Amino acid sequence: MTARRRAALRLPADALLVGAVLLVVVAALLSALGLRPEGADDRARRLESELRCPVCQGLSIADSPATLAGEMRSVVAEQVAAGAGDADIRAYFVERYGQWILLVPDAVGANLLLWAAPGLLLLGGAAVVVTRTRRRGVRAPVEAVEKVASERPRPLALAAVFGIVIAAVAIPLAVAVGPRALGGQITGGQATTQAAAPIDDLQARVTTNPTDVGALVALGDAYAVAGRAGDAADAYGRALKVEPDDIGALVGLSSLLLGAGRPDGALTLLDRAVAIAPDLPDAYLYRAIARYQLAGSLTADARADALRFLELAPNDPRRTLADQLLAGATPSSSP
């Protein structure tokens, strides 16, 4: 009598349990999806977290403090700002480092096995459990087994729980992969990358060796990327004190001056940079912008600089900037 009553009560209890698990799954899904649209920063950050750092090979370039990872992050930020699609940006790195560079490998060829393995294993496990519990129900159990078996959940409830577990794994997986397959291309504002780890690392290098120009310039770059213009200018300034002709510091500082609305100061530095390294594309791009800002229109000098940049770096993602500059005044003769 009491046993039957308990059995009758088990059903709503199971339903409650299943309901609770479903609720958690739905809540997790909603938070994973996020309710706000993905901005340029989020997009750059997501792409960075999916690219493997060639130096710190267990880390993504978003998490790695290596200089190379910093350079790769700036490539991602530039390409995102230039409006390149996710697939283009991934292809850029695959072309250079192979599929190895992808922390989230493409689901093609042999990789399909990798993608399918967790689901197949779960299904296999579920099948084993279901057949075993069902068999136990059919066979006349030994006394010892009977005691344990009577305490075990029924096969149907087990199957339901497994179904939910599989859904809990498969659905977020689909959510994680889905947006990339759809290739949502959202661009906007200046892309900034999180650079806290490299900044700390570089600060340590600069503290131990205050005349390490390479570290000072990299620190300036990291500050600039993090939007800390004042600190960046300070780092570049210190680099220039040690090595007055350091191209990286000259160009970095001049880009800061341009951002701060001081094209005159930037122009002086860039003239020096061009004199030292007559074939550095960046210096010409920035000088074109400085000259454009100073004159308020596209002067012959600015135009020549923009063209020189395009000539030196025809595949640079920032070529759209130069194109825009040239198109603003001379749409017909832009290259």
Partner 1 sequence: MSAAVIRPSRTRLVASAIAGILLIGAIALIAVGFTRDPSRIESPLVGRVAPEFRLVSLAGATVDLATLRGRPVLLNFWASWCIPCRDEAPLLRAAQERYAARDVAFLGIVYQDSPASAQAFVDRYGIAYPSLLDPDGRTALDYGVYGIPETYFIAADGTIRAKQIGPLDAASLERQIQEALR
**In the range 134-163, which residues lie near partner 1 by CB under 8 A?**
135, 138-140
| Cβ proximity to partner 1, 139 vs 147, nearer residue | 139
- Residue among 42, 231, 234, 243 that touches partner 1 (CB under 8 A): 243
Burial class (CB in 10 A: 0-12, 13-18, 19+), 26: exposed
CA-only gyration radius of the chain, Å: 29
- The interface region with partner 1, picked from 81-89, 130-138, 156-164, 261-269 by CB under 8 A, is 130-138
The size of the interface with partner 1 (CB under 8 A), counted in residues, is 38
- Give the nearest distance from C-beta 277 to partner 1 in angstroms: 5
- Residue among 39, 97, 157, 162 that touches partner 1 (CB under 8 A): 97
Tokens 């790695």 belong to 64
- Bridge partners for 60 per DSSP: 52
Query: How far is Cα 118 from Cα 169, in angstroms, rounded to an integer?
Result: 9
Query: How far is Cα 75 from Cα 90, in angstroms, rounded to an integer?
Result: 11
- Residue among 213, 257, 270, 298 that touches partner 1 (CB under 8 A): 213
- Residue among 282, 289, 291, 308 that touches partner 1 (CB under 8 A): 282
- Give the nearest distance from C-beta 317 to partner 1 in angstroms: 10
Query: How far is Cα 216 from Cα 209, in angstroms, rounded to an integer?
Result: 10
Please report whether residue 57 would count as binding partner 1 according to CB under 8 A.
yes
| Cβ proximity to partner 1, 95 vs 151, nearer residue | 95
Percent of the chain as helix, strand, coil, to the nearest 5:
75, 0, 25
Please report whether residue 100 would count as binding partner 1 according to CB under 8 A.
yes
Amino acid at 329: A
- Residue among 41, 46, 54, 323 that touches partner 1 (CB under 8 A): 54
- The interface region with partner 1, picked from 25-33, 180-188, 195-203, 211-219 by CB under 8 A, is 211-219
Please report whether residue 312 would count as binding partner 1 according to CB under 8 A.
yes
Query: How far is Cα 136 from Cα 36, in angstroms, rounded to an integer?
Result: 50
- Give the nearest distance from C-beta 185 to partner 1 in angstroms: 23
- Give the nearest distance from C-beta 128 to partner 1 in angstroms: 8
Tokens 């399909």 belong to 112
Alpha helix positions (H), 82-212: 86-97, 111-138, 143-151, 155-182, 196-208
- Give the nearest distance from C-beta 50 to partner 1 in angstroms: 17
